Amino acid sequence: MEPGEPREPQEPRETGPGAETAAAQVWEEAKIFYDNLAPKKKPKSPKPQNAVTIAVSSRALFRMDEEQRIYTEQGVEEYVRYQLEHENEPFSPGPAFPFVKALEAVNRRLRELYPDSEDVFDIVLMTNNHAQVGVRLINSINHYDLFIERFCMTGGNSPICYLKAYHTNLYLSADAEKVREAIDEGIAAATIFSPSRDVVVSQSQLRVAFDGDAVLFSDESERIVKAHGLDRFFEHEKAHENKPLAQGPLKGFLEALGRLQKKFYSKGLRLECPIRTYLVTARSAASSGARALKTLRSWGLETDEALFLAGAPKGPLLEKIRPHIFFDDQMFHVAGAQEMGTVAAHVPYGVAQTPRRTAPAKQAPSAQ
């Protein structure tokens, strides 16, 4: 018998008064033996309408730089040929990979506490790749033991139209234009970027950091700053301190995280909750922080931590938090986070965004 191999149950040899006890012990050993031989079943996929659905593009989940270069320079036929030739080689993890692993860690805890509940994270691979590339994606997912059962491979067409059908709560992609399309459709979305250096993140607690204005909240306050300056902004926030801000594009995702957090709180696990959220904002606490916190309160939401930086760089604080993902509407904050080793995601919403050109130059679509 190999080390670690389950021991085959032995027949009971007693014939006296203890025979029944011995027989029961043998049956228990037999059950353990055959349970260990049986293949481990993966959990059942939840119905999309019951779950918190996270749609991730293939280039967000995996590194596909070489494949994207071939697609751009040599075209789709050579791209598909290359993928078929390498379909038994798993992709390397991409920027969304640690986030997805953290989602699965939360799901394991939820299923331990609520075995019959479908209120868990459901991860969908959403890509405009050709279906032939699906084998390599499936092989990669199995290689890393990820639980991703739902695929949407659109063969060159935009996957955006399918996001609502999947009841998507958050869409992450490496394609900025696809993310803009999703935002325009009212779907929480962000363009995800790899950090400049690798930083170890928690394996047991999902950490998500949000900017405030134009991410959780509308861009109302940023419009005041842009049009009238900081002094007028401070006056405006003071005058409207008790008026909640309108919601921003990721308010619904924070709401979904809060709903799952409460499932742990109801079991007395607030301090051991495997989800932790952060508000990381350039606002200053004294002059404009109260309105942000009161807005969250009016929505019945909260973040575990609130960091008001009063214009200071966000990167050093994020380096201490080590979130699995940080959402911001301004690219210079995204770049600052990247430099400090944080996986950052750009939310293209609000007045801070560069206006789109009316007649964009033609370019090859990306193989997501």
Q: What is the DSSP letter of 131?
A: G
d(CA 165, CA 154): 14
Beta-strand pair 52-56/121-127? parallel
Helices and strands in the chain, H and E counts = 14, 12
Task: Identify whether the C-beta of residue 90 lies closer than 8 Å to the C-beta of residue 140.
Answer: yes
364: three-class secondary structure by DSSP: coil
Tell me the longest C-alpha to C-alpha distance in the chain: 94
Angle between helices 76-85 and 134-143 (to 10 degrees): 40
User: Is residue 339 within 8 Å of residue 318, measured between CB atoms?
Assistant: no
- Whether the Cβ atoms of residue 327 and residue 342 lie closer than 8 Å to each other: no
Would strands 62-63 and 92-93 be described as parallel, antiparallel, or unpaired?
A: antiparallel
- Based on its alpha-carbon atoms, the radius of gyration of the chain, rounded to whole angstroms, reads 25
| Residues forming the active site | 211
Report how far residue 101's alpha carbon sits from residue 293's, in angstroms, rounded to the nearest whole number: 30
Which of the 8 DSSP states describes residue 48? G
Other Cβ atoms closer than 10 A to 208: 23
- Beta partners for residue 1, in sequence order: none
